Amino acid sequence: MNYRHLGLTGIRVSELSLGSWVTFNEQVDVDAAVEMMATAYDAGVNFFDNAENYAWGKSEEIMGAALKRLNWRRGSYLVSTKFYWGLHRGVNERNTLNRKRLIEGVNGSLARLQLDYVDLIYCHRADKTTPIEETVWAMHNIIEWGKAMYWGTSEWSADEIVEALRIAEKHHLHKPVTEQPEYNLLARKRFEKEYARIFRDHGYGATIWSPLASGMLTGKYLKGIPKGSRASLREYTWLQKQMKDKERLAKVRALQSVAKSVGCALSQLSIAWCLKNPNVSTVILGASRIEQLRENLKAAAYVSKLTPKVMGQIEGIFGMKKEEDD
């Protein structure tokens, strides 16, 4: 396993990490979580991603119970959580990054995770109604109190990130250190265009999500929606539209021959392609079954096989159209 610095911090994250969205609780119980996390950890994974609102808190409870059983040295791994959507419908408790909610949120997450601190807190979306200054101060205080080590953003605009950095610098507060954006062969524009300046000018980190576009890039949707797959789950049927999109399916189909020539699975090629981008700090893997995780963990071995010729072939299939380039 290779390790990459998380932005400009001194902390290094394994280039492959493991997340729990959709899977923990819905598809993965505590026993399966123990097996998956142990498999990942044994392969060198040191970062486990979570969020307050995943399965309404149950995902944190499962990860907490698994960590308790695994009993690893706390210094040997990193855990994250995220706040924005909240767990309750109260006026100050959802879709917000206000100070009260963030502080109550972190206390709740620590209890569910059975941890004294988390390593990273993401502000899970930007909050257009709370002043960024209030959020930056709250995150600074949470870090000063030892409840978190670092903080970051998830799907904020580049302008909002730069504004948070500016406020933190002005008041000598803990700065956000990383984004958590979507990045995969089918979702490139924001990462490669809008965020280019936050990587270049601010050394911002990037812990990327959905490297397989929720499973689309494994090829599993080429013949329809398989039973038991993510897009077949009751709460995730909204994914079906993109899984049936003819243009996207044609691209995935075309990628099959590239994967064949490289000698790896589609999933491994898609993950290796993400790793090839030096602005990526870690690729957060998702898996509903241990076999998937085992397959995906081997992806890093194929990065060296992505020669300029292979990258050119991939670009020929997934390259952004001229109009997307603007």
Show Cβ contacts of residue 169 under 8 Å, excluding neighbours closer than 6 positions. 175
Distance of CA 108 to the CA centre of its chain: 21
Determine, following the binding rule CB under 6 A, whether residue 53 of this chain makes contact with ligand NDP. no
Does 229 sit near ligand NDP (CB under 6 A)?
yes
Q: Which amino acid is at 311?
A: M
Residue of 54, 84, 221, 302 with catalytic role:
54
Asked about 54 being catalytic, the answer comes back as yes
**Alpha carbons 1 and 97: distance in angstroms, whole number:** 35
Q: Which is nearer to ligand NDP, 14 or 23 (CB)?
A: 23
Q: Among 208-216, 240-248, 272-280, 308-316, which window interacts with ligand NDP (CB under 6 A)? A: 208-216
Q: Is residue 14 involved in binding ligand NDP (CB under 6 A)? A: no
Say whether residue 9 binds ligand NDP (CB under 6 A): no
Task: State which residue, 13 or 172, has the beta carbon closest to ligand NDP.
Answer: 13
The neighbour count for residue 138, using CB atoms within 10 Å, is 24
The residue from 284, 297, 306, 310 that contacts ligand NDP (CB under 6 A) is 284
Residue type, 98: N
Distance from the Cα of residue 171 to its chain's centroid: 29
Q: Which of 36, 90, 81 has the alpha carbon at shortest distance from 59?
A: 81
Residue closer to ligand NDP, measured from CB, 130 or 282: 282
Residues in region 175-194 near ligand NDP by CB under 6 A: 180
Q: Which among 306, 302, 303, 300 is positioned nearest to 40, based on CA atoms?
A: 300
Separation between Cα atoms, residue 310 and residue 8, nearest integer Å? 31
Give, to the nearest 10 degrees, the angle between helix 308-318 and helix 246-262.
170
Q: How far is the CB of 135 from ligand NDP (least distance, A)?
A: 16
* Residue among 174, 202, 230, 248 that touches ligand NDP (CB under 6 A): 230
Q: For residue 214, state whether it binds ligand NDP (rule: CB under 6 A).
A: yes
Q: Which residues are catalytic?
A: 54
Q: Catalog residues that contact ligand NDP under the rule CB under 6 A.
A: 19-23, 49, 154-155, 180, 209-215, 218, 220, 229-230, 267, 284-288, 292, 295-296
